[in-house]
Structure 1
């Protein structure tokens, strides 16, 4: 993650925008997409640590984004820690292309 971290206001605005674009997503799911868009985290363990959320909750949301919502591709999973790396797929790219910043 080479860019400087976004501030809380930017993150919350991006999360709200994702929620508006994809009203079926939970706030956590939208936050994961916003965090990916803002280059805050591209894996479940980092997102959980940055935002102080239990890793299991983040894993569940990532799985939903990859399977039910079809917006992420899971790229790697550590068998011991369950850290899951993820990336946008074409559908996720299309959603986040509507965000500015």
Structure 2
């Protein structure tokens, strides 16, 4: 699977998640949930780098989703790197969204 196809599938997964998610979930938040769900990263810095989003924006979205859709595992005070995992609610939303969200369909390197 080429990079463009992977990006298209990722965005489709984000769009589908937004369709089934509670009102108020922002596209950035949906992208973080999908990224964590498929294993692109579990901390704010790696998510920021993989998604091409400023670290400060990722931190702000993590803060907004903390307790409802994301669980903060730990924080590094010096770097502000924040490690997260999906809550059960976020896992259920990701699963309900569609098969597009399955990790194998987005991270597979086979055609």
Cα shift at 1:91: 1.2
Give the root-mean-square deviation of aligned CA atoms.
Answer: 1.7
TM-score (norm 2): 0.78
**Which of the pair has more CA radius of gyration?**
2
Greater relative contact order structure (CA < 8 Å, 6+ sep): 2
Residue correspondence of structure 1 range 46-65 to structure 2 within 5 A: 46-65=46-65
Which residue of the partner structure matches residue 18 of structure 1?
Answer: 17
Quick check: which one's helix share is greater? 2
TM-score of the superposed pair, with normalisation by structure 1: 0.85
- Residue 93 of structure 2 corresponds to 95
Q: Which runs of 5+ in 1 are unaligned?
A: none
In 1, distance between residues paired with 2:26 and 2:41?
Answer: 18
Equivalent pairs counted in the alignment come to 95
CA distance in 2, matches of 1:52, 1:95: 24
Q: Which segments of structure 1 move beyond 6 Å, counting only runs of 4 or more?
A: none
Q: Deviations over 1:43-67 (max 9, x none)?
A: 1100111122110100000111114
Deviation of the 1:18 alpha carbon:
1.1
